[in-house]
Structure formats: structure tokens, C-alpha cells
Structure 1
Amino acid sequence: MDLLLRELNRYKWDLVGLSETHLPRTGEETISGTSLILSGRTDGTHRQGVGFILSPTTKKVLISFTPVSERIATIRLKVSVSNLTIIQVYAPDSARSNEECEQFYFQLQSVTDQTPKKDMLIVMGDFNAITGNDQIDRRDVMGPHGHGRLNGRGERLISFCRENDLYITNTAFKHRHRRKVTWRSPD
């Protein structure tokens, strides 16, 4: 954590979303004036986990933190125009069953539905999905700079975005190939 905080101090940052923390706890910690809020497993297993790192400035505008599960957490912030709700996620990967994936999206939809309608909404994190770069019939939810070929989890993400009038913003901007993915299967 100290190394991460040192690296963050090189940038102008106020909030960082965390996915796959592997920290088996839920709650808030303060490290060197920085707030770490986590939603992890409760059985002691070092798997999954999501959370946020908040700068002291962002901590001052924090209205609430809601740990939903080891895969979903929300924060609500008071910002100048309105309130901002951020949902941080870590979706099941392709090795998990379709049933587990559907349970995740059911829970995510429930959390999204509970967001006050006047709030600005950001859903971010690791969706373990490939949305592809073929924009045909998907311009309403994504830009032309996707990656790879659409997979089943990508179809599910696109469906969720359509249902909630959301846009996959990292497909809207051109990135170097190596910055489009964070991990590639060895097979």
C-alpha cells in the first residue's frame, strides 16, 4: 500500500477504484492521511474484493460508502453540481459459470436501480469482458476503439449499458494497444 500511495502522489488524483483487492475485510482505514475503503469477503478468503482510495479532499465530500459484496461497492460524493454515485465492480471472469455472472449483473442492476435519479452515475471497474472493436449496432453504448472480438461477457456488459443508458468510455478514445488490456490469458 505504501508503494501504491507513493506512485499515486506522482499524479494529480482524488479517487482511485480498486478491483480484485484480495483483502478479506470490509470497512475503512486511514493510511498516511489517505482513506482506503474496502468491500471484501467475510469468510477470510483472500479472493475478489473491491474498494476505493480517497484523497483527503475527496474524503471531505464523501456522503456514504455502501459495501454491497466482494464484487460491488458504492460511494456517494457531494460535488459542486449535484451528487455523484460511483459503483466499483469486479465481475466474474470467463472461468466462472454463466449463472454466477447473471447473479452479479442482477445484483449490479439492483444497486443501479437504487441510485437516486438526480445523481450523476459512474460504474467502473473490471468487467472481465471483451466488447470488440466492431461498432455496428453498438454506437449507442461504445466508441470505435474497443479491443479484440466480442465475447459473451462483452455482450452482457453491452446489454447492461443499454438498459441503463451508460457508455463504455474507454472505447471512445484511441489508446496504444498495450493500454487496452490489463491481462492476457497464456493460452
Structure 2
Amino acid sequence: MTSVGGYTYCWSGRNDGHHLQGVAIVISNRLQPSVVEVTPVDERIMVLRLKLSFGFMSLIGVYAPTDVCILDVKEMFYAKLASVADRCPRQDIRIILGDFHAVSGCDRAGYEMSVCPHGSGADASTQNTIGVRPRAI
């Protein structure tokens, strides 16, 4: 963890000198006393657990494989993400956030509360679309 300008940067990534991949969660230094645990999983997933006044929150930061990655890489990423989310305590509020390299298109059916009416990226040829892997946590 590194603190700069009133914020703490928690990072998980490669340690081989290559500046590729990696995921970070940035929090205000005012929240630093609430941080219970930071768990770097790999260069694509990390978990930051916070103690709140009403319980705990697990923030799962992700950097998903791009659409051009082979299918096996993407499937392994989503399987690991599901496993990480399942390991978070059941009573925690779990929030998955980050870069999914996804487009939402303009079809909002089932996502009216999270996708604006204009959507993003009208390219229907991408496999990384919101809703491809729906899963309740």
C-alpha cells in the first residue's frame, strides 16, 4: 500500500518488472482505519475488506481479460472471480468493481438501474458483454 495526496493505493499485480496488468483500489486516508484486510489474489483480482458501522464490506477489484484473449483465459478468470467472491464472508456486502473490458450495448433489459439508456459500445460482435455471465452473489 502506498499513500499519496490523501489517498491510499492498494495494488495487486506482477512483480517481474513488466508493467502489464495489475489492479488497484484507491481509498481516502480517512477510511484507512476501516481497512481490515487487503488480499492480493493475482494480477487481475484483489479484495479489500472494510469494517463499517453496520457490518463489513468486501470490495473485489478486477481487471478482466480483453475480448481478444483466448476463451480459456477468460473462463479461468471468471471461475477464479467466482471463487474469490464465494470466499468472502456471507454477511459482508460484496461489491465487484473494475475494468471488465465490456460493452453494454443499448439493450437494458434487466439492467435498467445500472446501464444508461444510451448504453456503450454498440458493437454486438464482442464476447465481453454485460450480462454474459450473470451470477447472484
For the criterion TM > 0.5, the same-fold answer is yes
Matches within 5 A, 1:149-164: 149-150=123-124, 151-154=126-129, 157-160=130-133, 162-164=134-136
Change (3 A) 1:93 1:120: same
Post-superposition CA distance 1:28-58 (Å, at most 9, x none): 2233553221101122211011112222211
Contact 2:24 2:61 in 1 (8 A): yes
Amino acid at match of 1:72: I
Q: Which one scores higher on RCO, CA 8 angstroms, separation ≥ 6?
A: 2
Deviations along 1:94-121, one digit per CA (max 9) or x if unpaired, are 1211111111101101101111111111
* Structure 1 position 149, deviation (Å): 4.0
TM-score, L = length of structure 1: 0.64
**Residue 63 of structure 2 is aligned with which of 84, 90, 106?**
90
TM-score, with length taken from structure 2 = 0.86
Considering fraction of residues, name the structure with more helix.
1
Alignment of 1:67-106 (within 5 A): 67-106=40-79
Contact 1:89 1:127 (8 Å CA) reproduced: yes
User: Pairwise mapping of residues 23-172 of structure 1 onto structure 2 (< 5 A)?
Assistant: 28-32=1-5, 34-136=7-109, 138-139=110-111, 142-143=114-115, 145=117, 146-147=119-120, 148-150=122-124, 151-154=126-129, 157-160=130-133, 162-164=134-136
Aligned mates of 2:56, 2:76 — CA distance in 1: 28
What root-mean-square deviation, in Å, do the aligned CA atoms of Structure 1 and Structure 2 show?
2.1
1:143 positional shift: 4.1
CA contact (8 A) 1:38 1:49 kept: yes
Give the direction of change, closer, same or farther, for the CA distance of 1:164–1:140 in structure 2 (3 Å limit): farther
Equivalents in 1 of 2:13, 2:131: separation in Å? 26
Number of corresponding residues? 134
The CA distance in 2 between the partners of 1:109 and 1:141, in whole Å, is: 23
3-state DSSP class of the match of 1:131?
Answer: coil
Say if 1:86 and 1:124, in contact at 8 Å, map to a contact too. yes
Greater mean deviation of Cα atoms: 49-58 or 100-109: 49-58
Counterparts in 2 of 1:141 and 1:71: CA distance versus 1, 3 Å: farther
Report if aligned partners of 1:37, 1:51 keep a CA contact under 8 Å in 2: yes
Any unmatched runs of 5+ in structure 1?
A: 1-27, 166-187
What are the ranges of 5 or more consecutive residues in structure 2 without an aligned counterpart? none
